[in-house]
Structure 1
Amino acid sequence: MRKSFALSALFAAPLLIGAQVAMADTVTVDSCGRDVTFNTSPSKVIVHDLNMNEMAMALNLQDKMVGVTGVTGWYKTEGPALLEKLGGVPELAPKYPSLENLLAAEPDLFIAGWYYGMKPGGEVTPDILEQHGIKTLELTESCVHLDKNKKAASMDLLFDDMLRLGKVFDKEQEADTLVDGWKKELSSIKEAVGENAGTRVFLYDSGDEKPFTAGKYAIPTAMIEAAGGKNILDDMDTSWGRANWETVASRNPEFLVLLDYSQDGSGAAGLMDFLKSHPVMSETDAVKNGRFVALRYAELTPGPANIEAIRKIAAAMNPESF
């Protein structure tokens, strides 16, 4: 992220650790269609996953946090560095938390999402946590799993979540400054891309027999569009899911976004080697011309890292314009 935008996150004045701060007015926000009301600013917060922790850090909420979950589990090589930045906030569970994990920390708020720390029918849901006096804010992108009136992904998924956090934690000015800066950055990217917009893009996360990728409701689709491209699977009626190689190849992507789970770039290189050896993908323009960009997990899930990732995509697709 550009330095000017990163510095805007430092304007927040610190509050007393562990102290509940009464709000001037009761605050009610929407979370997956639920009204969540706060009479005091949350002071004992647990945040799930890399991207939502980066949202919290962008508003300097570390002094409000009593724990994190889902940061170092699975293949998330970014996790240890994030924990270091959090300065001693403990990880309560490396993957999905149990109800016991959460209750032991006595939080007043859990920031998570569906399939980002919670599963329908699981032991950790907003309804169950409410029974224990814990409020939940859900990642808006994840609400698609519950929403019958689904809308295609847009960058508002990120913007609205940041503005909602600002409202809940009485940091509206800081959130407004961040979002305004991000919107200006995206306008400058769009201007730089100009008439070159429309590049056909395929996002490859993982999978040999069937690729795991982003569909209509996942934020990478909006990111690719903001970078001047078009996700060739933006008609896939899901957020993240599996496609088939024949469909991908028939749409002949011109550019690839490779999700890199390694620290040294070897993960993306391995994905590209696989595509070069694949009987149908090896014939696509993107693979034949070696056109791709490697991005981290936190860059492709809703969070502050999305903005710089969009610039990376745009610059890799149109190097002459950046």
Structure 2
Amino acid sequence: MRTLLPTASLGLAAALTLTGCGAQVTSDDRTTPSQAVTITNCGKKVTYDRRPERVVTNDVGITELMFALGLEDHMAGYVMPADKGSTDHLPYKDAYNKVKWLSKDRVTQELALDARADLVFAGWNYGFNENTLTPDQLHKAGIGTYLLTESCRNAGTGTSRGIMPPLDALYTDLENLGRIFGVEKRARKLVERYKATVAGVRAKTPEGGKRPSVFLYDSGQDQPFTSGRFGAPDQIISEAGGVNLVHDLKDSWTTVGWETVVKRNPDVIVINDYGSTSAAQKKEFLLSYRPLRNVSAIKHQRIFTLDYADLVESPRNPSAIERLGAYLRDGGDAS
């Protein structure tokens, strides 16, 4: 696949030095301007004829991947529901203030065209779906795309998502974006730093003994929405010293039955804090839901909260591993 970016989107001379809170891109970080780059995205070879200059991102984790690389000057704006993240989260507060918040609903072809986007960075169920917007629709409109690797669809399995371990997906996207935007040095440094953080947590995990089982509770009362093997929570839990209760599910984000949770009896429950239902309300539901009353995590109130942006592929993943790891090592004092 070849992604042709609009010629009017050039103007690279002014972009030698980009500053963003948490990232600084200098001329030393950059490769030669505006050369064609071929990368592998969701199993397909994609060539970008020139460096994108007006990127529209969808969702908080995707937006912060751009910010972590200091690429806010290459963005036309971002789309993000207000309940998906905080725009005053450090170290990206200045970047959020600098880049236009285009919509608190969802990315659409009309929005991308109005923003004069040359690239939409989104993912399956992170902005793209068959009913409202697909990459092919944008390509026909002359707009390039990049797909979040966490969201890549499994070959031959319909719409289930995930083709590699979640942290590998994070590192893959950083390295791909580094090549596309000519900031490979910056991308390598970030990947090295994140890997060192994760390795530091792993080194503190006691060897031997049974690891605590952890259930990620996203939302839902009739059926809980959770995360399987290919979602970021799976590896966040694993690297923190636990075991994802539904690691056997070959999907990223999906629903299970409460009977599965009861039968597998998690030691800890992690609440995904986002949406119109607060983390406190989710915790109150879990503690009062009678089918869970004999589950170990409920009986001992071992319930921990992480933000939505911690639990989707994003630069916040290594920090989430540190915090959850400390909680699990400390015996899971109630939060």
TM-score normalised according to structure 2 size = 0.83
Matched, 1:287 2:282: no
Q: Residues of 1 paired with 2:105 and 2:235: CA distance?
A: 27
| DSSP 3-state at the match of 1:233 | coil
Assess if the C-alpha contact under 8 Å between 2:274 and 2:308 holds in 1: yes
Note the 1:209-248 alignment, pairs <5 A: 209-248=222-261
| DSSP 3-state at the match of 2:271 | strand
Assess if the C-alpha contact under 8 Å between 2:87 and 2:96 holds in 1: no
Q: Which deviates the most, 25-34 or 99-108?
A: 25-34
Matched, 1:43 2:53: yes
Distance 1:256 1:298, change over 3 A: same
Distance 1:29 1:145, change over 3 A: same
Assess if the C-alpha contact under 8 Å between 2:78 and 2:100 holds in 1: yes
The number of residue pairs the alignment matches comes to 304
Letter in 2 for 1:295: L
For residue 8 of structure 2, what is the aligned residue in structure 1? Answer: none
Among 58, 65, 68, the alignment partner of 2:78 is 68
The Cα shift of 1:261 comes to: 2.0
Assess if the C-alpha contact under 8 Å between 1:72 and 1:80 holds in 2: no
Assess if the C-alpha contact under 8 Å between 1:155 and 1:222 holds in 2: yes
Among 49, 63, 76, the alignment partner of 1:53 is 63
Matched, 1:163 2:175: yes
Note the 1:125-164 alignment, pairs <5 A: 125-144=134-153, 148=157, 151=163, 153-164=165-176
Q: Residues of 2 paired with 1:72 and 1:14: CA distance?
A: 34
For residue 78 of structure 1, what is the aligned residue in structure 2? Answer: 86
Matched, 1:109 2:116: no
Question: Mind listing any 5+ residue stretches in structure 2 that lack a counterpart?
Answer: 1-19
| DSSP 3-state at the match of 2:120 | strand
For residue 93 of structure 1, what is the aligned residue in structure 2? Answer: 103
| Matched-pair identity in % | 33
Assess if the C-alpha contact under 8 Å between 2:154 and 2:163 holds in 1: no
Distance 1:267 1:258, change over 3 A: same
| DSSP 3-state at the match of 1:188 | helix
The Cα shift of 1:151 comes to: 4.1
For residue 277 of structure 1, what is the aligned residue in structure 2? Answer: 288
Assess if the C-alpha contact under 8 Å between 2:88 and 2:96 holds in 1: no
For residue 256 of structure 1, what is the aligned residue in structure 2? Answer: 269
Among 20, 23, 36, the alignment partner of 1:26 is 36
Matched, 1:185 2:193: no
For residue 296 of structure 1, what is the aligned residue in structure 2? Answer: 307
The Cα shift of 1:79 comes to: 4.6
Q: Residues of 2 paired with 1:60 and 1:147: CA distance?
A: 36
Question: Mind listing any 5+ residue stretches in structure 1 that lack a counterpart?
Answer: 1-6, 16-20
Partner deviation per Cα, 1:43-74 (whole Å, 9 max, x = no partner)? 111111100111000011111111111x134x
Assess if the C-alpha contact under 8 Å between 2:270 and 2:305 holds in 1: yes
Coordinate RMSD, CA, aligned: 2.6
Q: Residues of 2 paired with 1:220 and 1:94: CA distance?
A: 24
Partner deviation per Cα, 1:76-98 (whole Å, 9 max, x = no partner)? 25257677642242222212222
